[in-house]
Structure 1
Amino acid sequence: MHAPDFWQTDNVISRALSPLSLLWRAGAAWRKATTPALHPGCKVICLGNFTVGGAGKTPSAQALFGILTGLGHNPHFLSRGYGGTQQGPHRVDLSHDRASDVGDEPLLLARTGPAWVSRNRAAGAEAIKAAGADVIIMDDGLQNPSVIKDLGIVVIDGATGFGNGRVLPAGPLRETIKSGFSRVRTAIIIGDDKTGLAPQMPNHVSVFKARIRPENANEFAGQKVAAFAGIGRPEKFYQSLRDCGAEIALARDFPDHHLFKPHELAALRADAQKAGAMLVTTEKDLVRLPFADQTGIRTLRIALEFDDLPGMTQMIETVFAHGA
């Protein structure tokens, strides 16, 4: 789904829906109270959102993997596998698994390092520990009470922040801001902090700023492109292309995690050819396509860069030296 516009402001609709937020919060409280919590016996670092939609968790997890391996650790990724049918615990196999099996994000993570999917996060964490990992990177799961975390990290889109600050369905929050910050020690703000969140962070939260960097920007400079995306905020992708110097001849939005149908891909190819443009999408969208349908579609490869990489590295080191 794409976030409705009223989630960004305090308005009549959000105020009218606020009573329903109490039901959401009550359900979350019941789940927490009735779910046994397990620690797998190795360190667990969880990157998540307080809001629904994409904020940059996947590139953040990949960057964290690089820091951990640089420190000599053996990290594995753990994901719920949203959009896939695999219940798990299952280690992602790039030679056989498809997005319909394990979800799109685990496929991207598996390109970086060992990645597992498990609907039962606790069972997945135990399987990863048994496989020899000394640290688990949970991609999402701050609101999941079944696994005890050594470090919680909230990933925040600097452009949208926490929206109107209300809980679903009145706003984009999965939980109250106070509740969320009670479980994290670190915040990563990606992009310019346009909503001014950094100065408002609790004292116990270390704030790190980061940016998404295109790795193959030169491939799109001066090129006319036909862009399509099925992610939380497609406009972020289109702006990244513009920042690379691309001219966007047309842009097509699809729902987040959309599984593309043959007629949709045929229409996209026809529109791109008619516009005389290069067909381009995100890495996350491309992995949802069958291999045969990926031919002729370019992707903008991205990576996360921390403004203060030494500081972030030191933060991660403390998890192993003193706990979190």
Structure 2
Amino acid sequence: MIRWSPRLRAPAFWSAAPGVGAWLLKPASAAVEAIAARRRARVGERVSVPVLCCGNLTAGGAGKTTLALDLGARLRERGVAVHFLTRGYGRRPRARGVGTNIFGRGFPEEPLLVDPDIHSAADVGDEALLLARIAPCWVGADRVRSAQAAIAAGATCLVMDDGFQNPGLHKDMALLVIDGSSGLGNGRVIPAGPLRENPEAGLAAADVVVVTGEDRAGVSVWVEKRAPKGMPVLRAWPVMEPSVDLLRGRPVVAFAGLARPSKFFRALRERGVAPLRVVSFPDHYAYRRKDLARLARVALKLEATLVTTPKDAVRLPAYFRRHVTVVGVELAWADPDAPESLLDRWLEREVAAR
């Protein structure tokens, strides 16, 4: 059995019925919820181009980056000069004292335009490198400054990956992404549960809800009962790229450092790929040499192919990445016309408003 002991993972009670752990942390959760509510009440600064935000209510794992990539690619195909904005979670600060504190207040930092040929995941975060493959991506804790830099560089619309709870920049359209299998977890706010804010307050701030995957948690029913009348609820499924079919019948060792690695492993099995071993790491995990050496030894012993996700691949050193098969995911929409109609409505509305 493979044993790793890297960084803390999300506690098990986040996904279970509220128990003793959640009860003991209730006062801390109340404080976090109050801070989130005060931030939510602030009015964001408007910029001269339309801003679309892909966010979620929980601490990772809902698929917001996959959605941002999908919509960004569609905008590029239209010939729109779209730029991405992201905080660059998991990156190292570029100067002493740079970043955000627990209250979300930013310290001075110049926005950085990501260059995949120069920057590493440690410099800008793994998600930023993926976004930069589609369109220019700006990293910075201050979303307003990032937006201004992007506009100065020629952006005619902006897509935010995360930042749903960030009050600095006004969102012209906010898409709330909820994973259908995990839903809202135990329904408690961090640290008693996985929620970033009161879920009903978050829902009220959204313009569209996108439910990803099978709705085992009853998300659609929850949204229908609580959302403003007429709020669109779109359905989409993460689907592995066709290249995964080449792995069928082959010995595989799968590893992933995601908010929910089990989703990746389950998706492999659903496509007929049965890993001999699966190894989970925390989200945004910075792989160490000893981690890679262990993975290599296991794969060699089992005469198996190492398989991981694009988000993990950008965190691997080049020498190791050459020996790993990377399998990405795309979004399959229940209504194939839904994302295009969404973008039409967003862009036409904002052009008219300006």
Q: Same fold (TM over 0.5)?
A: yes
Cα shift at 1:88: 3.8
Which among 55, 58, 63 is matched to residue 48 of structure 1?
A: 55
**Match for residue 244 of structure 2?**
217
Cα shift at 1:30: 4.2
SS of 2:285's equivalent in the other structure is coil
Cα shift at 1:80: 0.3
Letter in 2 for 1:78: L
Which among 310, 316, 328 is matched to residue 283 of structure 1?
A: 310
Residue correspondence of structure 1 range 162-177 to structure 2 within 5 A: 162-177=184-199
Size of the aligned set, in residue pairs, is 323
User: Aligned partners of 2:257 and 2:114: how far apart in 1?
Assistant: 22
Q: Is the 8 A contact 1:20 1:169 kept in 2?
A: yes
Letter in 1 for 2:317: P
Moved more, 6-15 or 98-107: 6-15
Cα shift at 1:73: 2.0
**Match for residue 75 of structure 2?**
68
Residue correspondence of structure 1 range 125-164 to structure 2 within 5 A: 125-164=147-186
Cα shift at 1:36: 6.6
Q: Equivalent pairs: percent with the same residue?
A: 40
**Match for residue 18 of structure 1?**
26
**Match for residue 141 of structure 2?**
119
- Alignment gaps of 5+ in structure 1: none
Which among 261, 266, 273 is matched to residue 300 of structure 2?
A: 273
> Is it true that 1:263 corresponds to 2:277 in the alignment?
no
Q: 1:36 to 1:205 in 2, by over 3 A?
A: closer
Letter in 1 for 2:164: L
Q: Is the 8 A contact 2:25 2:191 kept in 1?
A: yes
SS of 2:67's equivalent in the other structure is helix
SS of 2:58's equivalent in the other structure is coil
Which among 13, 23, 43 is matched to residue 6 of structure 1?
A: 13
Q: Is the 8 A contact 1:3 1:53 kept in 2?
A: no
- Alignment gaps of 5+ in structure 2: 1-7, 95-108
> Is it true that 1:90 corresponds to 2:112 in the alignment?
yes
Q: Is the 8 A contact 1:185 1:204 kept in 2?
A: no
Cα shift at 1:318: 1.5
Cα shift at 1:262: 0.9
User: Aligned partners of 1:197 and 1:81: how far apart in 2?
Assistant: 28
Q: Which whole-Å deviations, capped at 9, do the CAs of 1:1-24 have from their partners, x for residues lacking one? A: 533221122223223322221111
User: Aligned partners of 2:221 and 2:31: how far apart in 1?
Assistant: 31
Cα shift at 1:249: 0.9
Cα shift at 1:32: 4.8
SS of 2:197's equivalent in the other structure is coil
Q: Is the 8 A contact 1:214 1:303 kept in 2?
A: yes
SS of 1:309's equivalent in the other structure is coil
Moved more, 198-207 or 53-62: 198-207
TM-score by length of 2: 0.87
TM-score by length of 1: 0.95
**RMSD over equivalenced CA pairs, Å:** 1.7
> Is it true that 1:247 corresponds to 2:274 in the alignment?
yes
Q: Which whole-Å deviations, capped at 9, do the CAs of 1:96-117 have from their partners, x for residues lacking one? A: 0100100000001111111111
Which among 325, 330, 335 is matched to residue 298 of structure 1?
A: 325
Q: Which whole-Å deviations, capped at 9, do the CAs of 1:220-273 have from their partners, x for residues lacking one? A: 111211111111001011111112211211111111111111111011101111
User: Aligned partners of 1:278 and 1:292: how far apart in 2?
Assistant: 15
User: Aligned partners of 1:40 and 1:118: how far apart in 2?
Assistant: 16
Q: Is the 8 A contact 2:76 2:135 kept in 1?
A: no
User: Aligned partners of 2:249 and 2:262: how far apart in 1?
Assistant: 19
**Match for residue 214 of structure 2?**
192
User: Aligned partners of 2:332 and 2:40: how far apart in 1?
Assistant: 34
User: Aligned partners of 2:175 and 2:312: how far apart in 1?
Assistant: 25
**Match for residue 85 of structure 2?**
78
Which among 25, 28, 47 is matched to residue 36 of structure 2?
A: 28
SS of 1:128's equivalent in the other structure is helix
Letter in 1 for 2:112: H
**Match for residue 256 of structure 2?**
229
Q: Is the 8 A contact 1:220 1:244 kept in 2?
A: no
User: Aligned partners of 2:222 and 2:255: how far apart in 1?
Assistant: 36
User: Aligned partners of 1:115 and 1:124: how far apart in 2?
Assistant: 9
User: Aligned partners of 2:299 and 2:110: how far apart in 1?
Assistant: 39
Which among 300, 304, 318 is matched to residue 345 of structure 2?
A: 318
Q: Is the 8 A contact 1:220 1:241 kept in 2?
A: no
